[in-house]
Structures are given as structure tokens and as C-alpha cells.
């Protein structure tokens, strides 16, 4: 497109709002027009997002209805649908929702949402006007399973994943206190995590006869950001054939890489990457996957979707270095 994409953010005071703001301010083809926040209206963005000092003079807006080409909704779950029901936006305004209100095919009025996992359906995203951005655990788990589902090789999956405290949002909770998180790990939402619905929906669209279970146990970790997942299933492929299957599937996708040696989470923190590593023990295939929950798991993927929707290079504004030191 000619000229810069005019972008706005609603719900800009939280972690995903802050990361989306940071990426848009540094995007070569986007102009951040406004960042809305009910709780911070009138205050400088830097009063909340201290990492932006020296990068912007913008203040938080209380206005939901400024004219933009694309609107990022960084709201609590349930609030996006309410916002779009109560406020009318032009059909020419693209919506990218980072919450879970539209991931299962829900719509509001005439707005229908495309599930925004590029490695699953990049062409549909390119043609979409409204995107339901995937969840962070959902992204990390699915990227470890998509090639198997595409080949019809999925069987019952046992998945364990650990996430940083930012995955719980910015609002202080008992389990996000430093004194609770430090030197501590715990499980939560065992086998009932809210991302299981979108995971199953995607996998069954690729492998319609898949009727087994994704058994997912999420853990809270003693760190701020990042996700590390290990998925185990029965698979008759040799390790060599499994690696070929995965590398062939992801050959054209810039952010998902299959490594030849064990991965660790610090390799992806502060990037839009997903790294995968495969192991084979007997009949068991183990797929390790790791992402930054706030980037490939949220704001980075939202920008990736914007790039695709507006015909830009998919990686524009997302060439970020991992925080490995």
C-alpha cells in the first residue's frame, strides 16, 4: 500500500498493549496514531511503559473512535466483543483482536474473524479484514504439531508447558507476586486450559479424523516472559523422517525454525521466533517448542498478521535479537 499504515491500540496499558506499542513505534511502514486506556487517559505512555522513554511523546487517549487503517484490541477476555458491539467502526478498518473472543469462529455484526496463525493459514490471513490472534500457549503447542496433523500422523498427545509471569497479565494476583513466584513452580488449569479449544479446532481442520486428546498440563515458571513446551506422542516415523517432515513444512515460514540441537527459551525471548527440536525414544516422538509469550505468542504475531493483511514483507518490523545474555 502507499503511505504508512495508520494504527491504533485499544487497551494499551497492559503487557500486550505495551509490546504492540513498542513494535508499531519502530515499524518502518506503520504510524501509531493513538493508544487508548481508560485507566491512564491523559498520561504519557512513558509513565506506564518506561522502556519507551525518549521514543515517543504520545499520551494515552480516552477516545475509542479515532480513524485508523488497523485497530489492535489488547483487552481482557470478553471485552473485545463488547467494544465492537457498542462502537461502530468503518468496514475499511481492519481489526486484530489479541484476546480470545473470536478464536472459535465467533463474529460480531458483519465482522467475521480469521484465526491468525500464519503457519496454519497464511493465504486466508492475507485476504482477511479481521483477525483473531492465537493464544500464547496455543501458538507454541500448535507449531509443534501442525506438520504431523497435515500428514495425518497425530495420535494422543501429552503436553507440558511452562510460562512466565507476564502470561497472567499486568494486574497483580497472588500467583504473580515476586515472593510467590521466586524459586517456585506450580501447575494450574490441568487438562482444562482455555487454549485447548482453538488447538483442537486447528488440528482437526488439518486431520479431520483426529479424535484423540491433547492432554495439556500448564506450569507457572519463575521468570517473567517466555514459554517452553514439550509434546509427546506415539509416532512410527524415524527421527530423520520426522525432522524432514517438519523442515519441509516450515521451509517458507520466516519465524519457525527446526533446530539440529537442543533449544532453550532464552534463544527466543524478545523475538517473534518459534524454535523446535525433535527427539525420538522408542515409539515416542518428543517435540520441544519455545516462544516469547508476549511476541510470537501475542503482539509480535499480531504485527506479523498486520504485515500479511497489508501486503508487506511478513517479517517487517520484527527482526529482533534474542535476549540470551
pLDDT of residue 298: 98
pLDDT of residue 178: 81
Residue 54 pLDDT > 60: yes
Residue 170 pLDDT > 80: no
Three-state helix/strand/coil letters over the chain: CCCCEEEEEECCCCHHHHHHHHHHHCCCCEEEEEEECCCCCCCEHHHCCHHHCCCCCCECECCCCCCCCEEEECCCCCHHHHHHHHCCCCCCCEEEECCCCCCCCCEECCEECEECCHHHHHHHHHCCCEEECCCHHHHHHHHCCHHHHHCCCCCCEEEEEEECHHHHCCCCCHHHCHHHHCCCCEECCCCCCCCHHHHHHHHHHHCCCCCCCEEEEEEECCCCCCEEEEEEEECCCCHHHHHHHHHHHCCCCCCEEECCCCCCHHHCCCCCCEEEEEEEECCEEEEEEEECCCCCCCHHHHHHHHHHHCCCCCCCCCCCCCCCC
Residue 177 pLDDT > 80: no
**Structural domains in the chain plus CATH codes:** 5-133+298-309 (3.40.50.720), 137-291 (3.30.360.10)
Task: State the average pLDDT over residues 93-114.
Answer: 95
Task: State the average pLDDT over residues 153-172.
Answer: 87
pLDDT of residue 64: 84
Task: State the average pLDDT over residues 187-195.
Answer: 95
Residue 149: HSE in the Cβ half-sphere, 13 Å Cα cutoff: 25
pLDDT band at 50 (very low <50, low <70, confident <90, very high): very high
Between 49-58, 172-181, 299-308, the lowest mean confidence (pLDDT) is in 172-181
Let me know: does 290 contact 324? Beta carbons within 8 Å.
no
pLDDT of residue 202: 97
Looking at per-residue confidence, does 321 or 277 come out higher?
Answer: 277
Residue 112 pLDDT > 90: yes
pLDDT of residue 175: 77
pLDDT band at 325 (very low <50, low <70, confident <90, very high): confident
pLDDT band at 98 (very low <50, low <70, confident <90, very high): very high
pLDDT of residue 24: 98
Residue 47 pLDDT > 90: yes
pLDDT of residue 174: 75
Residue 13 pLDDT > 70: yes
Between 53-62, 161-170, 306-315, the lowest mean confidence (pLDDT) is in 161-170
What percent of the chain lies above the pLDDT cut of 90?
A: 89
pLDDT of residue 171: 67
pLDDT of residue 284: 98
pLDDT band at 5 (very low <50, low <70, confident <90, very high): very high
Task: State the average pLDDT over residues 190-210.
Answer: 96
Residue 1 pLDDT > 80: no
Residue 74 pLDDT > 70: yes
- Joined together, the cell numbers standing for residue 192 give 482444562
pLDDT of residue 323: 80
- Which residue among 94, 136, 235, 274 is the active-site one? 136
Task: State the average pLDDT over residues 234-249.
Answer: 98
> Is 94 marked active-site?
no
Amino acid at each position: 500500500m502507499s503511505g504508512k499504515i495508520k494504527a491504533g491500540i485499544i487497551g494499551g496499558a497492559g503487557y500486550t498493549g505495551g509490546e504492540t506499542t513498542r513494535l508499531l513505534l519502530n515499524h518502518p511502514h506503520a504510524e501509531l496514531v493513538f493508544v487508548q486506556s481508560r485507566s491512564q487517559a491523559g498520561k504519557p505512555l512513558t509513565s506506564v511503559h518506561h522502556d519507551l522513554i525518549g521514543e515517543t511523546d504520545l499520551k494515552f487517549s480516552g477516545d475509542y473512535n479515532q480513524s485508523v487503517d488497523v485497530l489492535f484490541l489488547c483487552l481482557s477476555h470478553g471485552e473485545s466483543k463488547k467494544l465492537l458491539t457498542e462502537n461502530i467502526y468503518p468496514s475499511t478498518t481492519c481489526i486484530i483482536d489479541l484476546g480470545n473472543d473470536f478464536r472459535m469462529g465467533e463474529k460480531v455484526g458483519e465482522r467475521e474473524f480469521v484465526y491468525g496463525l500464519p503457519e496454519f493459514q497464511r493465504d486466508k490471513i492475507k485476504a482477511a479484514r479481521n483477525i483473531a490472534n492465537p493464544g500464547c500457549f496455543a501458538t507454541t503447542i500448535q507449531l509443534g504439531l501442525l506438520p504431523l496433523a497435515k500428514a495425518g500422523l497425530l495420535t494422543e498427545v501429552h503436553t507440558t508447558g511452562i510460562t512466565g509471569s507476564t502470561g497472567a497479565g499486568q494486574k497483580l494476583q497472588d500467583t504473580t507476586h515476586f515472593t510467590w513466584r521466586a524459586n517456585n513452580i506450580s501447575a494450574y488449569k490441568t487438562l482444562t486450559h482455555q487454549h485447548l479449544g482453538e488447538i483442537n479446532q486447528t488440528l482437526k481442520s488439518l486431520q479431520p479424523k483426529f479424535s484423540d486428546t491433547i492432554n495439556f498440563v500448564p506450569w507457572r515458571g519463575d521468570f517473567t516472559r517466555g514459554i517452553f513446551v514439550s509434546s509427546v506422542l506415539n509416532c512410527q516415523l524415524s527421527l530423520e523422517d520426522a525432522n524432514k517432515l517438519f523442515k519441509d513444512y516450515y521451509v517458507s515460514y520466516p519465524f519457525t525454525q527446526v533446530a539440529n540441537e537442543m533449544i532453550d527459551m532464552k534463544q527466543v525471548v524478545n523475538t517473534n521466533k518459534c524454535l523446535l527440536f525433535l527427539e525420538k525414544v522408542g515409539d515416542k516422538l518428543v517435540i520441544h517448542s519455545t516462544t516469547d509469550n508476549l511476541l510470537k505468542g501475542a503482539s509480535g504475531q499480531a504485527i506479523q498478521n498486520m504485515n500479511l493483511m497489508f501486503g508487506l514483507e511478513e517479517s517487517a518490523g520484527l527482526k529482533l535479537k534474542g535476549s540470551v545474555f
